[in-house]
Amino acid sequence: MLWGSRFNKKIDDEALSFSSSLSFDIRLYKHDIRVSKAHADMLLSIGILSSEENIKIQTGLQKVQSEIENSTWLPDPNEFEDIHSAIEKRLTDIIGETAGKLHTGRSRNDQVATGVRLWMKESLIDLRSKSIDLQKSLIQLAEKHINTIIPGYTHLQRAQPISLAFHLLAYVEMLERTKNRLAHVFNEANVSPLGSGALAGSTLPLNREKTSNDLGFAFPSNNALDSVSDRDYIVDFLNVCVIGMMNLSRLSEELIIWSTKEWNFIRMGDEYSTGSSLMPQKKNPDIAELIRGKTGRVYGNYNSLITTVKSLPLSYNRDLQEDKEPLFDSYDTFSGSLKMMKGIIGTISINENRFVDELDGDFSLATDLADWLVMKNIPFRKSHEIVGQVVKLAESQNKKLNELSLEELKSIDQIFDESAKEVFLIETALLRKSTFGSPNPVMVSSQLKLWKEKL
């Protein structure tokens, strides 16, 4: 133990097991060693370590890292509280008492916080890369379906016709906002707590600017008390995962619905589907369902941490050890889900003509008819009322809009002429859109071009 000299008895074995974080924070071993190497170099620069001592520490730390990576030494959770104490003990075994100088001016509080921030910066870059990969996959699919007509929905009721490309681009936008949030959290994490000590800095002339620069941080933190107790950046990281998984879950839900026999719109690739142990005909969208299901655990991780932190007095409390499991699990889940969704999107096949006949003359073109009336100088509220009567008439006769005769339209209002019936043609519905951000194929093509250049 790093702290046992003032105690008369060693910690209870079960208490050690209960309190150990080694089983999950072992993934920080590289970052902890990197922090220790930078700290040792700084101690050399201020005269605490000699050149020979620093070389011994640097060489010893590299050996510890190699042993972990080659599995020739793995710390025992029944012996160590965490990866940080395990590495220090192993370093002592390798180089002797010189290892005892490494912790000069340092607490596990600032040591751990620095390592977590290094890990987080790498993880944020990975999530950004996987978000871009999924964006590219969505764009690649969208390029093939600029003119593939599908119904757009509000309240899960058909609203207006759109294109599949337009629908997919909505998720590209969501992923872009995810990347913006990742960038914000990266800036939050890009601050070095090293040198803050337990909570109040050090009486030693530690060069915090040097360690901050050597570790690739933007600058050292301003307040030692806040530095060791701050978990805002982790909460914000979890929030990115929450919103990201929420959006992936929405896409999963739509893909699952689209793949049903009733919709008959897409077929999932075999690579991302499973069968049934009982029913040989089944092809289940299990991977999309798992993405949707795993969203709940990421929500739980967020709630777990904010509940833990909400009543903690400054500065450090052992409760804060509970930040790592939700952090690591949320990252793993979101990262894996992004990768799986990219695979799903890249292997689905589309029934391109599924809705062409069905939407020709469909009630979802009613708003276009109201716009036609507006262009005839009819106030929109009056137009809305007239078209409502048209829909009611068609519904009463079990007809689509394009099945109504001109005489039937004129029975509602004499303003109708043959040009009104052109509004019911689904093949020109998207081209009639004129506003920026609409599913007009010309505009969608332009957006796709811009996205490809941006990514």
Any idea which residue has 């040198």 for tokens? 195
CA distances from 426 to 63, 363, 366, 431 (A): 69, 11, 12, 10
* Residue 343 neighbours by CB under 8 Å, 6+ apart: 269, 271, 272, 287
Question: Using CA atoms, how far apart are residues 49 and 400, in angstroms rounded to an integer?
Answer: 86
Cβ contact 195:201 at 8 Å: yes
Q: Which secondary-structure segment (H or E) carries 150?
A: strand 149-154
- For residue 414, give the 3-state DSSP assignment: coil
Is 50 one of the catalytic residues?
Answer: no
Is 276 one of the catalytic residues?
Answer: yes
Tell me whether the omega of the peptide bond preceding residue 123 falls within 30 degrees of 0, making it cis.
no
| C-alpha dihedral (63, 65, 68, 72), degrees to nearest 10 | -10
Q: What is the DSSP letter of 218?
A: S
- For residue 20, give the 3-state DSSP assignment: coil
280-281-283 Cα angle (round to 5): 105
Active-site residue, selected from the candidate residues 23, 66, 129, 276: 276
Cβ contact 263:145 at 8 Å: no
Active-site residue, selected from the candidate residues 51, 155, 277, 311: 155
Catalogue the active-site residues: 155, 276
